[in-house]
Structure 1
Amino acid sequence: MSNVRFGLREVPGLAERMATLMCVDLDLKSNDENLESETQEEEKSGSLDNVLEILQKEMDKVKERGVDAAIWLELEALGIDDEMLKSLELSTKFPNLVALNLWGNKLEDAETIIQEVTKCRRLKAIWLNDNRALRLMRVSLALICSSSLVCSCLLRFFSNMSRSSVCIFSGDRISKLILDGIPGLEIYNSCFTSNFGEWALGFCGSIFGADNPGCLSECSGSLASITTLDLSNRCVRCLPKAFSPIMLPSLSHLNIRGNQLDQISVDDLLQLLKSFTLQTLEVDIPGPLGNSALQILEYLPNLSFLNGISASVITETGKHVIDSALQPRLPEWAPSEPLPDRVIGAMWLYLMTYRLADEEKIDETPVWYVMDELGSALRHSDDANFRVAPFLFMPDGKLASAVSFSVLWPIQDVHHGEECTRDFLFGIGEDKQRSARLTAWFHTPENYFIQEFKKYQQQLASRSLPAPKEALITRSILQHDGHSLQVYTDIPHVEEFLTHPKFVLTTNPKDADIIWTSMQVDPEVKKAFELTDLHYTNQFPFEACLVMKHHLAETILKAAYLMTISLFLDSMLNCTCCGTGRPEWLQPTYNLETQLSQLIGDYFVRKQDALNNLWILKPWNMARTIDTTVTEDLSAIIRLMETGPKICQKYIEHPALFKGRKFDLRYIVLVRSMDPVQIFLFDVFWNYRGRLNHMNTPEFVREFEEEHQVNWQTIHQGIQDMIRSVFDSAAAVHPEMHNPQSRAMYGVDVMLDHLFKPKLLEVTYCPDCGRACKYDTEAIVGNGGIFRGRDFFNTVFECLFLGKTAHVTPL
């Protein structure tokens, strides 16, 4: 994926074809075409003659119907400005005007709008949408002014201006004045007012409209024939008396999506709906009827369909949140955005992926591709009638000659004229978070995910980290007779640099006292090497709780959950948490295989609060940077799950910089025991900037302190506390991790934020220590002194097996 932008820019015609396929080039017309279109639009609208012609036709209708007939005026997008609105004298010409549509005109002066509109005292509906006057024009001095001098100047400026020269309104202020001036208004800018009743219900039930404006007074029985009522997205907070089975005896299909309905309780609303003979209901879940589709059906057993899904299907599948009317996510772009950027922003709605595999292993690098125009035009359906699969044809039997195809075939009988569809998540059920994963392509209910996130936060809020246990001394394992310990290893650096006289290398693992290997020492390896429980190994049982990225965050959070505040009060005093039960040094982290809903909720909350929404995705158990992505695109986050299990972690958006560049730190931790926890921190650490750009540690610390005016010892103490907490958490959650025959070395990668607080990146098993063995350096923590690189593994083995503490600090 890293070469996508380069390919779009350099391959001739690629960006253009992809942009057309993804429909992100629709606004790219020639200047002449745009000019011609604008000219035609100007000729069509903005003419007083055109408006007067429409009014004359309506006046002719009045003569036909009688002077007492209600009038509906459609004046949408006619270029009407403030002066023209005044000249039309609508209230005089149409005293019985009940509905006025001024959507998309050129009205700018709020006073003029209020003055002219409120003269039409019998209005029941008015649409002023998409007029400049209704855009928010409130000037907030508190937000735009940080200087008292600027504030006073602006205040003086506005106070000196006469009321006739300027009047600043907000959209809310305009609506209030209009509603005060027209008490009977039921619909304002597509939303129901608090006065809505029979006329508004009739409008949404297709009883009233331009051809039938209704009556000037209440028309008894006018709603009796309504069978379908769409009240979606009408800003309804409470239902009127007119919404009753007496007034709506035939109502069987109701849509109340997109309404708060917060002025009526869930029980009262359910009771009201139960009094109708509803067959289908559309409602937000979670929403005004609660959080569960199953509970809604339990209370409204006569429903045949809920949100477009058969009630029997909902009951059988046990789904709480259901919806068949999800709106698709459409590509969004700025007019000035170049084609390659538009394509990158839209591609996650179209991309497909696969990985190559042979008998030995699966390729670590996924292949992402886009089908042609036909394949990309296939829309999603849960009940798809086609399937698509990638097919690789190798004429020469070699991968280099491969040609890729997408094979499309029907899986149901398909009739002429029927749409061809595919299941975007074929084979993925609710056990693999199907509903949440549909968020990559559709606008799923945000409220549901936000509530899931808030529940997750509440679970974390009462958690605290475990307190350190008192460390006991682990003795040397050296034989009393003074014989050297035999070491078997498959790690070249150990073979080369382990020169301590108390350790002798052997090529036979059976004869070794210590097994120091990069392999997983599982039962099969033990059997093959004829190992016994008396052999010392460089692995602890269940160490996956630390070295697997998804288990690491889970371990830390679970440890906090298991420990009570009273038992570990000292820990709470020493370990700062961020108010959510999550330590400050752990970024918000989600296991995408199990916590996708909570992540989506977190994403939506951050979006609502205009917070940074940049995330980093990391595979569970691959080396750093492999299949790792940084993105703020929610669709990309969800789609990247397809290339293997991942965690999604909040990106550190404000890291500490060194000479303008990000860096991270590698610490080496030596573990003698996990019960009690007995760990040692190497006095030497390593810094990395960019790709393997290491700077001598004392020089780095000296220049960092000088650049930021900080004390490194303070920073180091915070890192020490964090590392201790990590291993305490593992010991608390997995006491079975302890094994008296285990000793291990781990790499702990750390970043600093802009406040110089540590952030945990990952814990690595059997870290690469080539750099540690290669360079001599000065230890600037611990006991200090010069550390010789060639003695690195001698120091490690002395600490773990001989009980020495040279060049290490116990934590």
Structure 2
Amino acid sequence: MSPAATSSEERIRTYEDFARVHAYLLAAAGVPPSLHQRLYAKLADEVFDGGEVFAVEPCESGRQRRLVLAADKPLGKESDVFLVDHAWSFRLPDALKQLREVPGLAERMAALMCVDLDRRIEIEESDEQHSEKSGSLEHVLQIVEKERVRVREMGSDYAAWLELEELGIDDDMLVTLDLSVKFPNLVALNLWGNKLQDPEKVVQEIKKCAKLKALWLNENPVLGKNIDKDVLDGLSGLEIYNSHFTSKAGEWALGFCADIVGADSPTFSVECTLLESIETIDLSDRGIHKLPEAFSPTKLPSLSKLNIRGNPLDQISGDDLLKLFSGFTHLQELEINIPGPLGNSAISILESLPNLSLLNGVDCSSIIETGKHVVDSALEPRLPEWSPEESLAERVIGAMWLFLMTYRLADEEKIDETPVWYVMDELGSAMRHSDNANFRIAPFFYTILWPTHDVHTGEECTRDFLFGIGEDKQRSARLTAWFHTPEKYFIQEFRRYQEQLQSNRICASTKLEETPSTRSIRPSDGRALRVYTDIPHVEEFLTRPEFVLTTDLKEADIIWVSIQVDSEVKNATGITDQQYTNQFPFEACLVMKHHLAETIQKAWGSPEWLQPTYNLETHLSPLIGDYHTRKRDGMDNLWIMKPWNMARTIDTTVTGDLSAIIRLMETGPKICQKYIECPALFQGRKFDLRYIVLVRSFRPLEIFLSDVFWVRLANNQYTLEKTSFFEYETHFTVMNYIGRMNHMNTPEFIKEFEKEHQVKWLDIHGSIRSMIRHVFESAAAVHPEMQSPFSRAMYGVDVMIDNRFKPKILEMNRRVAMGADCSSSITHATRILLCLSLSATLCRSDPDLLVDFCVADTASPASLHLNGLACIDPAAARPEHFATSALSRATNPTPFGFNVTVTSPVSSLPGANAQGLAMARTDLAPGGVAPPHSHPRASEVALVLSGSVLVGFADTSYRLYTQLLRAGEAFVFPRAMVHFLYNVDAAAPAVVLSGLNSQSPGAQLLPLSAFRTEPRVPDEVLKRAFKINGQDVQRIQRNLGGSS
């Protein structure tokens, strides 16, 4: 793109135009002023001359590339600037589609990211041809003979060192070589990467080489056949076995790791003083449990640089290890795992070893200044991984997070909500990370690249992947996107975070202080309430005589607006604190996703109904620990990334890729939440539920929930196929802005859902109601400052149900646009304002209906739950609304020998709505029992219609009240008391008709509460509570239809 192509009105023709128009962008990009004119010249002529200056080289065995300076002359600091093209630009939802459809794109990206299949096949075929050629006995004998000649020249007692790596040597060839005869003083034998597989032959030949001190059998099939003990027992002097120190490791092994022992100098005498001159020793990844006795300040007095990474060192305490290291008075540089043998903190290590100048490659003074506890400058890079069956496009999707860059488009009015991701061309993508980078890049039309230090020919060119991001923004944790950082540290952070959450249970340990209920705000003179609104639905449909619309903000009693009414708005408009508004102070604690999770976690810790949730701006480390823990334990590791405060699933991503999770932080603040990978499905599709909650007060907590909700269905069948995560209509349900909307009305959904899953929706709805109340209790407990007598509000609560039919809170929104997704806007808008402002009649204080009856409106999804279900127009009532045949039929008994049919205003008796009653028919099989149970919200009177039934209940002092009833006799069970019914006749059934004083009485069976919960009550609790053993627990659980 030419710098002249910015706009037709302000066309750039000269460098002066360029510098003036792009002054802010140039400064923001950090481009040195001395390079501005050269940048303009290259942009104007589209000069891409990086290929003349740099070269791309393979590294990490071809799994990565690096960029080096190839020019004949060094490149001075800020001496030039280079253009880097963008090979691929896309928005994330389009990535897979483009890779599949754009010709050549997948092939180019696969090659750039080193995941191209064809090239690897060619390399493997070449390697196989080389292996066939070099694996001949003749070739091996040539190498053996060459070593024999060298030993003969050095003298008959000279030690031999044989390098026979990757020569295709098999068992018979090893026997034929007869190495013990040819080399009686063989001290090191390298057989790495051959074809040895017969344990007996290999051990027999190896044991003949009695003077071996080092043996490498790595990557031979025989290693999987438990030969280690036989080898170690048969070679008494072996100090290094398969790259690891043995328990016999001593001075020779230390000399090998210090490069004073090798093929050219295979041994040295005990009297030799070479160890005393050692300054550097690399003991990394040697499987060392306890350091050799020879590793001491006496034997190694000159040691100044030690690398001891990757060793368990579990047979020596951290304190003893620190004491040992402190004895090396010249030790300046130490590399060791943190967390690891010396503890979890770099600061603590430096306090014990104050003479160190570098710890894990990082300057010790900077560690102390920044307060970093975990440091490492030599992290192992993450390399792309894939499986053979994956297509090139799928491989690129998995590898791209190691290469992607991002920006957002913007104009003078706003920034684009959806970020653009891009991959630099082969030159730019070959630049690897360094904390001490010698180049810097910035997006500017293309991407521009310039040196920040002097760079010499052949030197690697690096950039800082996290330029400008320090530890205050979790730099060390964010490097996990590109490097294998210490898993142990992050798992410890995760455990610490879990412990903190468990100590945060405010709601579980305290009771909210009760204060007087809110009162009606209706004026005492009976005049109508003046309502100011900017919401069209309210203006159009608010027609009740209790309200009158006004356009004067200052005279309004109620202000119901779409904007945030904060102190700035109040000052600008003259709104007073005595005017009622449709929002509570500090409601961000509910409607912003990170605050909602934090509020719930402070109140309840980690409740089952909140998926594990992390604010990535503050809790990336425990998230990484959680991810590693799940991976280690074989658990599902799918996560969903959600922006703090964006609607319509903008910039929301589902992924199981840890690098992707971390990189997605770059497009704005987000939470990372455990994805509900096993949701309850409706006809194979994912769905969520939108509930409407009205809040009149937080102290006391007064909330009203509509029993009618909106069902939002995904358009595609649900699947966890990896490529499906790019399909919006498979994993997301909000279709208002994309795809085709797929909603259902409430009664139809309930009927079909109950039929499909064989469950009772009332049970699920009860769990949802309880969860929603807990959410608002969280806000009331954690943020008491939310309470305001002049605030009322309406919130949308999004809920999902998992495949165990347990509800999960997704998010909450301020609901100001009443009627936008309702079919009965007049009723809806009016009832909301009535409920929130005129409390007396419609919300809670009058125990009796103020109309003759309230037939349940089961057809309208706009209905609001005020006193039972919403009512239809009384003029539309019909006799059948007040009649039911639901109790006329016997039903099949449960394993206990009973079954119950209960009337419901939704499904069988709409005329009973709001009457505070329900009826139930209980069928008892011969000898059947309705086991001990309770109704938490109702008293019950039971009338025996036929048979002989023993009934009874126990009060809270455990006194039993029991009676044998025959046909025509009745018995009362007080509210919430545990009671039972037992058909004493073993030959004939019995029928009982009950009346309950609640249309939603609820029921809890004691046997199931103890032995059929999900998750299960711990066996130890049941054993102690019921004085039974573990076998009894399992038997009871099986008998009740559960898993033991």
The two structures share one fold, judged by TM-score above 0.5:
yes
Q: Distance in 1 between matches of 2:191 and 2:506?
A: 61
Determine the structure 2 residue equivalent to 1:19. 110
The answer to whether the 8 A contact 2:537-2:825 is kept is no
Determine the structure 2 residue equivalent to 1:575. none
Tell me the CA shift for residue 739 of structure 1. Answer: 0.3
Q: 1:110 aligns with which of 187, 199, 213?
A: 199
Q: 2:629 aligns with which of 605, 614, 619?
A: 605
Determine the structure 2 residue equivalent to 1:385. 438
Q: Distance in 2 between matches of 1:4 and 1:791?
A: 45
The answer to whether the 8 A contact 2:561-2:816 is kept is no
Q: 1:615 aligns with which of 620, 639, 659?
A: 639
Q: What secondary structure, in the 3-state scheme, does the structure 2 residue paired with 1:808 have?
A: coil
Determine the structure 1 residue equivalent to 2:99. 8
Whether 1:69 aligns to 2:158 is yes
Q: Distance in 2 between matches of 1:327 and 1:375?
A: 21
Whether 1:49 aligns to 2:138 is yes
Determine the structure 2 residue equivalent to 1:401. none
Comparing 257-266 and 734-743, the one that deviates more: 257-266
The answer to whether the 8 A contact 1:680-1:809 is kept is no
Determine the structure 2 residue equivalent to 1:189. 242
Question: What TM-score, normalized to structure 2?
Answer: 0.67
1:365–1:19 Cα change, 3 Å = same
User: 1:8 is matched by which residue type in structure 2?
Assistant: L
1:88–1:415 Cα change, 3 Å = closer
Deviations 1:723-752 (A, max 9, x none): 111111111111111000011111111111
1:497–1:82 Cα change, 3 Å = farther
Deviations 1:312-351 (A, max 9, x none): 2222222222222123222222334322222222221221
Q: What secondary structure, in the 3-state scheme, does the structure 2 residue paired with 1:130 have?
A: coil
Q: Distance in 1 between matches of 2:408 and 2:563?
A: 25
Comparing 416-425 and 453-462, the one that deviates more: 416-425
Comparing 186-195 and 756-765, the one that deviates more: 186-195
Q: 1:225 aligns with which of 263, 271, 277?
A: 277
1:490–1:344 Cα change, 3 Å = same
Q: 1:316 aligns with which of 369, 373, 378?
A: 369
Tell me the CA shift for residue 416 of structure 1. Answer: 5.0
Q: 1:676 aligns with which of 700, 705, 708?
A: 700
- Superposition pairs of residues 290-305 of structure 1, within 5 angstroms: 290-305=343-358
Q: 1:461 aligns with which of 481, 502, 508?
A: 502
Determine the structure 2 residue equivalent to 1:342. 395
Question: What TM-score, normalized to structure 1?
Answer: 0.85
Determine the structure 2 residue equivalent to 1:432. 473
Determine the structure 2 residue equivalent to 1:797. 833
Q: Distance in 2 between matches of 1:197 and 1:296?
A: 26
Q: What secondary structure, in the 3-state scheme, does the structure 2 residue paired with 1:553 have?
A: helix
The answer to whether the 8 A contact 2:100-2:393 is kept is yes
Determine the structure 1 residue equivalent to 2:529. 485
User: 2:865 is matched by which residue type in structure 1?
Assistant: H
Structure 1's unaligned 5+ residue stretches are 136-168, 392-403, 561-580, 775-787
1:93–1:416 Cα change, 3 Å = closer
Determine the structure 2 residue equivalent to 1:38. 128
Deviations 1:445-465 (A, max 9, x none): 222222211211221233435
Q: Distance in 1 between matches of 2:293 and 2:554?
A: 87
Q: Percent identity?
A: 68
The answer to whether the 8 A contact 1:772-1:792 is kept is no
Q: Distance in 1 between matches of 2:335 and 2:380?
A: 14
Q: Distance in 2 between matches of 1:231 and 1:27?
A: 38
1:60–1:649 Cα change, 3 Å = same
Whether 1:264 aligns to 2:313 is no
Tell me the CA shift for residue 533 of structure 1. Answer: 0.8
Deviations 1:43-74 (A, max 9, x none): 221x2222222222333334334444332221
- List structure 1 segments (4+ residues) > 6 angstroms apart after TM superposition: none
Q: Distance in 1 between matches of 2:125 and 2:162?
A: 30
Q: Distance in 2 between matches of 1:738 and 1:450?
A: 39
Q: Distance in 2 between matches of 1:78 and 1:768?
A: 76
Q: Distance in 2 between matches of 1:174 and 1:371?
A: 50
Tell me the CA shift for residue 291 of structure 1. Answer: 1.7
Whether 1:557 aligns to 2:593 is no
Whether 1:726 aligns to 2:775 is yes
Q: What secondary structure, in the 3-state scheme, does the structure 2 residue paired with 1:667 have?
A: strand
Q: Distance in 2 between matches of 1:701 and 1:789?
A: 23
Q: What secondary structure, in the 3-state scheme, does the structure 1 residue paired with 2:641 have?
A: strand
Q: Distance in 1 between matches of 2:196 and 2:467?
A: 51
Deviations 1:69-117 (A, max 9, x none): 3322211111112222233333344343322211111122333333333
Deviations 1:468-505 (A, max 9, x none): 64585322111122211121122222223333321222
Determine the structure 1 residue equivalent to 2:784. 735
Determine the structure 2 residue equivalent to 1:762. 811
Determine the structure 1 residue equivalent to 2:221. 132
Determine the structure 1 residue equivalent to 2:48. none
The answer to whether the 8 A contact 2:506-2:781 is kept is no
- Superposition pairs of residues 195-210 of structure 1, within 5 angstroms: 195-210=248-263
1:84–1:739 Cα change, 3 Å = same
Determine the structure 1 residue equivalent to 2:588. 544
1:416–1:39 Cα change, 3 Å = closer
Determine the structure 1 residue equivalent to 2:691. 667
Q: What secondary structure, in the 3-state scheme, does the structure 2 residue paired with 1:77 have?
A: coil
Q: What secondary structure, in the 3-state scheme, does the structure 2 residue paired with 1:764 have?
A: strand
Q: What secondary structure, in the 3-state scheme, does the structure 2 residue paired with 1:546 have?
A: helix
User: 1:388 is matched by which residue type in structure 2?
Assistant: I
Q: Distance in 1 between matches of 2:820 and 2:222?
A: 66
Tell me the CA shift for residue 516 of structure 1. Answer: 1.1
Deviations 1:387-426 (A, max 9, x none): 22222xxxxxxxxxxxx32222334444555443322222
Whether 1:655 aligns to 2:675 is no
Q: What secondary structure, in the 3-state scheme, does the structure 2 residue paired with 1:3 have?
A: helix
Q: Distance in 2 between matches of 1:809 and 1:127?
A: 80
Deviations 1:152-190 (A, max 9, x none): xxxxxxxxxxxxxxxxx4xxx322232233333222211
User: 1:639 is matched by which residue type in structure 2?
Assistant: R
User: 1:509 is matched by which residue type in structure 2?
Assistant: L
The answer to whether the 8 A contact 1:795-1:807 is kept is no
Determine the structure 2 residue equivalent to 1:535. 579
User: 1:38 is matched by which residue type in structure 2?
Assistant: E
Q: Distance in 2 between matches of 1:186 and 1:809?
A: 83
Determine the structure 2 residue equivalent to 1:808. 866
Tell me the CA shift for residue 311 of structure 1. Answer: 1.9
Tell me the CA shift for residue 219 of structure 1. Answer: 5.7
The answer to whether the 8 A contact 1:108-1:133 is kept is yes
Q: Distance in 2 between matches of 1:798 and 1:683?
A: 18
Q: What secondary structure, in the 3-state scheme, does the structure 1 residue paired with 2:119 have?
A: coil
Q: Distance in 1 between matches of 2:760 and 2:233?
A: 64
Tell me the CA shift for residue 386 of structure 1. Answer: 2.9
User: What is the root-mean-square deviation of aligned Cα atoms in Å?
Assistant: 2.3
The answer to whether the 8 A contact 1:671-1:678 is kept is yes
The answer to whether the 8 A contact 1:773-1:790 is kept is no
The answer to whether the 8 A contact 1:773-1:791 is kept is no
Q: What secondary structure, in the 3-state scheme, does the structure 1 residue paired with 2:263 have?
A: coil
Tell me the CA shift for residue 668 of structure 1. Answer: 1.0
Determine the structure 2 residue equivalent to 1:247. 299
Q: 2:666 aligns with which of 625, 642, 645?
A: 642
Comparing 582-591 and 347-356, the one that deviates more: 347-356
Whether 1:90 aligns to 2:179 is yes
Determine the structure 2 residue equivalent to 1:306. 359
Q: Distance in 2 between matches of 1:749 and 1:287?
A: 44
Q: Distance in 1 between matches of 2:124 and 2:302?
A: 50
